Structure formats: structure tokens, C-alpha cells
Chains A and B, each alone.
Chain A
Amino acid sequence: MLTIRGLNTFYGAIQALEDVSIDVEQGEIVSIIGSNGAGKSTLLRSISGLVKPRSGTVDFEGSTIQELGSDQIVRRGIGHSPEGRRIFTNMSVLENLQLGAFTRSDGEIQKDMDHVMERFPRLRERLKQNAGTLSGGEQQMLAIGRALMSRPKLLLLDEPSMGLAPNLVTEIFRIILDINKEGVTVLVVEQNAFRALEIAHRAYVLETGKIVLSDTGQALLTNPKVKEAYLGG
């Protein structure tokens, strides 16, 4: 579904991604793990068009998308829940969800809205509330719900567990599995390597901008190198 080949992304003179190639197949959950500054967020941004890669190709469902604007990429079916949630804190929960559906004009927005609220009942109770007043966990749910409102085929999640209490982390990962079961392909970036590998069909390890390992989630969980570097020995 998503094929990335030889991707190089720069911020000015800093090279954040170096010759990155990954694949995501329809229906998969693919995780990318790596430490701070490895380039995980940059990879997601390069896919969704928030930064333009200098070279390399991003193919989605058979067509090249790295030249498109981020709005076009959302329309093609890639939803991005960016790092740090970045919900619109001065807007209501409802308005946040409406903005998630900004690129759509079909008649099923309300239906999807209801579906998101079934998944996150806490959002329904707080629909008119300012999103900035939500708790961290609720904000994360809103960020995911908002990304789902574009009805993505591929959902990019950037550190969904960041700053959450352990029981909420469990809940968020359960929700990611649910979303995937309903047919959405998921590419998730995480520092919480254990959880990310646990749910992943396949995973990649990113180190200073380069892919250094790739295997199934289970295999990486028991890989001694991964164990030592990312799973605390």
C-alpha cells in the first residue's frame, strides 16, 4: 500500500532521514521505534507532506505522492495525528472533529462522527467543551478521533502514548488494535518500544536517520540488540 524508497529529508543543512526505505501492506500495523531525534516524526511528516523530502519516492496505492501538497495527501486517504497531539485547544471538541473532516464533502460525515464518539464515549460527553480543558488522555483520544474523521485508509500515529499513565497507554493501544481490525492500516511511531512491538505485525528500528533493523514485531521483541537498546535489557 505504501512503498518508500531511498528517502532523504533535510532541515536546512541537517539531514534527518538518510536513504530510508520501508513498506506498509494493506491491513497491517507497522511500528517504527527509535530514540529521541532518530527521525521518526520526520518520517511521518515526509509521508503526509508536512515536510518535503529532498530525494527518494513515496508511493501510495500505486501513485507517487511526495510531490503533492499535504491537503492532497489527506484527500488520497492518509490521516496524520501529529506529535504532541496538536489539537486546537481554543476550539470545542466538536469543532476539532469537524476540522478532521475538512477535506470531505460526502454525506457520511455525521455517521463517522457518531462512530468516533462510540469509540471514545468521553468525547461525546465533552462535545461542546473547549478542547484545551480536556485531560491528556482525552486529548490523545481527540487527536486520534480527529485523524479518523478524514476516513483514512492509512493512519499515521506519532507517539500516541506520550505522557499518558500506564493504564491509559494500555487503553490507547487497545483502541489502535480495534481501529486496525476495522480495516484501517496503521503506521505508528513510538518511544514506548515494548507496546509498539507487541501490537505490530512488522516493525522498523530507526537510528540517527537510518533504518538499522526490520522484522516482525515478535521477532524484534526478542532480538538481543533491541532488548538492550530499547527494552531496558
Chain B
Amino acid sequence: MNLPIRLGSFLAAALFCWGIQTWAMGSLPFNLQRLIALAGLYVVLAVSLNLINGITGQFSIGHAAFYQVGAYLAGYFSIHNFNPQGMPPWLWLILMMILGALGASLAGLVVGLPSLRLRGDYLAIVTLGFGEIIRIFVQNTKELGGSYALDKIPKIQSLWLIWGLAIVCIAVCRNLLKTAHGLSFLAVREDEVASSAMGVNVTKVKVMAFVLGSGFAGAAGALLAHWETSITPQTFSMDVSFIILTMVVLGGTGSITGSVLAALVLFYLPEYLRNVSAISGSTLVAVTLSVITAVAVMKRLVDHYHRPMKQRVIAYLATIVGSAILGVVLNIAFRGVESLAKASFTGDKLRLVIFATTLIILMLLRPQGIFAHHEFSWDWVRRLFRRPAPTPGATS
């Protein structure tokens, strides 16, 4: 990357952080500010887990544990040492981020060193176990609030720092991929034996990725602690680990772009569905049937309809429009069925069902994740709008 682009990206990032800070803190209600903050933290968590699972091909499923280590470490330290007169709060928050990151990296090193030497799924088991150990440790330590909350953490809320961290995390992962080191990360994912034959120190690469990824999660934890001012072990339950993992898998293991988008969608979708008003039984049945039709047709298209991009897109759109019409017709038809029309389901109840269904559908239609291992780039946008040039042989 040349200097003007670098500078430009830096300025754009700074502008974005400043914009989000002034806009959200100035004009949004508190609960929306919080959603924006948490979304940023989930971006950090997903992108950093993607570095471990996607880019170097390991399988860590306990990412929330490192989030928790960062949060409790920074929170606890802050409770006892924060002095509002000492320094500007944002500077203190940065220091706490660093503390959280160091603590989580160290934990990552301790967990990673022994398990990363081994092949296969040991890491998955060990990270899962580590999460439980941390949870139980916190629950049994009165100093940390036990099963209740660790509260009275100084309230330092900074959207620009949260989104700044997200951007730094994305930038670090992206730049890593452009260097010789990054190439070795990808090589390890593809073939460990061939990588060692090339002189890549496979264990070192894995440990580096793992420690770096854990560190980012720890920094995110520190920010969370100071935003919420009160954290409990439940904040970091296994569900959280699984949600982060789902984000990475859904976005396309290995794609940073995919992780970012999946983090945003998977974070906001349940929040949005929480507010959906009650749905009648007839609508629900109609929607379900039309979705099933759409998925079945799409699945056939994905598997058997190998045409140029344009024709495929038209076919997909036609399927969507067709099933939407089917849905409307069915809805009218089912309204005649009294028992269905009377039943009603609130969005809150349907939330998790819809969430899970979306995942199943995506895994059916695109098991490699939405972005597979592709990245967003301006080149790619340009190509999309240009006529496809005849490429010799290869398509990827």
C-alpha cells in the first residue's frame, strides 16, 4: 500500500470514530448508544477469533474467556486505582485496554503453548475448559464479586475508543495478510507439513495468532467493563463464545470482511427481532411455507444451475419474488382458517427461532460462509461493474 492510501485510510478511520462519537453521544438515547458500543466490541471479538480460526486454521471455541479475563482484570484494577484527577479518563481507558490485552494475551500463551503443539481439536477442548475454569474461579472469588456482579467500575464510556479498537483490529489482521508473515499464517491453515518444509515455524505462527487474537478480546473486555460498570460471570457465558464462533463461521472462515458484517448482522438481528410486534398464526404459517419453498429452490439453483453470474442473480431474484408472492397469497388464504388467524406470537418469542433458522438456511445454501475466504476490496467492486473478462481456465 502506498503512502497516500495509508494516510487516507487513517484519516477516514479517525473521521469515522469521531463521527460516531459525536453523532451517537449527542443525539441518541442511551440504549442505542449501548447497542453501538456492544456492536463494536463484537466486531473486535469476531475479527480476532477469525485471526485464530480462519486465518491460521485452528479451532478455538472459548473466545469469551479471554474477553472475560480482560474485563475482570481491567475492571478490578480500575476500581482500586482510578483517580479522576490523575489523568484524562480516555487515557486511563487506553491504559486499561492495554492491561486487559496483556492479561488476556498471557492467558492465551499459557493455554496456547501446550495445546498448540498438538494437532487436531485439542485447542477446542482446552479453550472450552479454560472458559469454565475462569468462570468458576470468578464465581468463587469474593473479591471479584463471586456469582454476583463486580460493580462500581468507573464509568468511562467512549465510542470512539471502542470503534477505534475495532478498526485497529481489522487493520492489524488485514496488514498481517499482506506481509510474508501473513502468507505464512495462511500457509499454516492450508498445510502444516508443507509449511514446515518451507521453514515456517508452525507452532510459533499458531501461538502468535492465538496470543494476538486473545489480546484483542482482552482489550475489548476492558472497554466493556468500563462501559457497563458492572459485569457478572454470565456476561461471558459459553453462549457468548458460541455467538462469536457463529459470526466467524457465518461470515466465512478466513474473511475479515465476512466477520465484520456477520458480527453486525448477528448482533443487531436478535435486538431488532425483540421489537417486532405480534405476528398472527396465519402469517407465520404463510411465511414459513414460502421460506421453505425459497430455500428449496435456491438449494437446487446453487447445486445445479451453473450459469454466468448475471443469469444466476436473476434466477435468485426471481425465486425471492416468486416466494414472496406465494407468501402473500398463502397469507390471504390462511386468514380464512379461524384458529390460525386468532393465534398470535410475539417477536420476542420468535427471536431465537428466527435466528437459528437463518443460520440453518445459510449453512444449507452457503456452507463456506457468506464471504467464503474473500475480502472486500475496491478492485472487487470495480470488477463487479465491469463486463467479465474471459479468464483463461481458472475461476475461483
Query: Closest CB-CB distance, A162 to chain B, in whole Å?
Result: 15
In A71-113, which residues have CB < 8 Å from any B CB? 71, 73-75, 80-82, 86-91, 95, 98-100, 102-103
Query: Closest CB-CB distance, A81 to chain B, in whole Å?
Result: 8
**In the bound complex, do residue B201 and residue A99 qualify as a contact, i.e. CB atoms below 8 Å apart?**
no
**In the bound complex, do residue A50 and residue B197 qualify as a contact, i.e. CB atoms below 8 Å apart?**
yes
Per the bound structure, the CA–CA distance linking A73 and B373 in Å amounts to 32
Contacts of B187 in A (CB 8 A): 88, 91, 99, 102
Instruction: List the A residue with the shortest CB-CB distance to B394.
Output: A133
Per the bound structure, the CA–CA distance linking A73 and B198 in Å amounts to 10
In B4-33, which residues have CB < 8 Å from any A CB? none
Query: Closest CB-CB distance, A129 to chain B, in whole Å?
Result: 5
B120 at the interface (CB under 8 A from A): no
Per the bound structure, the CA–CA distance linking A100 and B198 in Å amounts to 5
B3 at the interface (CB under 8 A from A): no
**In the bound complex, do residue A70 and residue B190 qualify as a contact, i.e. CB atoms below 8 Å apart?**
no
**Residue with the highest number of chain A CB atoms closer than 10 Å, among B186, B193, B194:** B194
What size tier do the contact residues of chain A reach? 20 to 34
- From A49, A89, A99, A146, B183 is in contact (CB under 8 Å) with A99
Contacts of B195 in A (CB 8 A): 99
- From A71, A80, A86, B200 is in contact (CB under 8 Å) with A71
**In the bound complex, do residue B199 and residue A103 qualify as a contact, i.e. CB atoms below 8 Å apart?**
yes
What size tier do the contact residues of chain B reach? 20 to 34
- From A91, A146, A150, B190 is in contact (CB under 8 Å) with A91
**In the bound complex, do residue B198 and residue A150 qualify as a contact, i.e. CB atoms below 8 Å apart?**
yes
CB 8 Å contact bits of B180-198 with A (1 = contact, 0 = none): 1001101100110111111
Query: Closest CB-CB distance, B11 to chain A, in whole Å?
Result: 31
**In the bound complex, do residue B197 and residue A69 qualify as a contact, i.e. CB atoms below 8 Å apart?**
no
Per the bound structure, the CA–CA distance linking A88 and B193 in Å amounts to 11
**In the bound complex, do residue B200 and residue A99 qualify as a contact, i.e. CB atoms below 8 Å apart?**
yes
**In the bound complex, do residue A86 and residue B183 qualify as a contact, i.e. CB atoms below 8 Å apart?**
no
**In the bound complex, do residue B394 and residue A70 qualify as a contact, i.e. CB atoms below 8 Å apart?**
no
Per the bound structure, the CA–CA distance linking A63 and B393 in Å amounts to 48
**In the bound complex, do residue B396 and residue A74 qualify as a contact, i.e. CB atoms below 8 Å apart?**
no
Query: Closest CB-CB distance, A72 to chain B, in whole Å?
Result: 8
- From B180, B190, B373, A89 is in contact (CB under 8 Å) with B190
Contacts of A95 in B (CB 8 A): 183
Query: Closest CB-CB distance, B120 to chain A, in whole Å?
Result: 15
Instruction: List the A residue with the shortest CB-CB distance to B194.
Output: A86
Query: Closest CB-CB distance, B201 to chain A, in whole Å?
Result: 5
**In the bound complex, do residue A86 and residue B199 qualify as a contact, i.e. CB atoms below 8 Å apart?**
no
A9 at the interface (CB under 8 A from B): no
**Residue with the highest number of chain B CB atoms closer than 10 Å, among A71, A74, A103:** A71
A192 at the interface (CB under 8 A from B): no
A48 at the interface (CB under 8 A from B): yes
Query: Closest CB-CB distance, B113 to chain A, in whole Å?
Result: 15
Contacts of A99 in B (CB 8 A): 183-184, 187, 195, 198, 200
Query: Closest CB-CB distance, B379 to chain A, in whole Å?
Result: 13
Contacts of A102 in B (CB 8 A): 180, 183-184, 187, 198-200
Contacts of B198 in A (CB 8 A): 74, 99-100, 102-103, 146, 150
Q: What 8 A-B pairs have minimum CB-CB distances, sorted nearest first? A: A74-B199, A103-B199, A86-B194, A70-B196, A71-B199, A133-B394, A80-B197, A71-B201
Can you report 26 A-B residue pairs in the complex whose CB atoms are below 8 A from each other? Answer: A50-B197, A70-B197, A70-B199, A71-B199, A74-B197, A74-B198, A75-B199, A81-B197, A82-B193, A82-B194, A87-B194, A88-B186, A90-B190, A90-B373, A91-B186, A91-B190, A98-B183, A99-B183, A99-B187, A99-B200, A102-B183, A102-B198, A102-B200, A129-B393, A130-B396, A133-B394
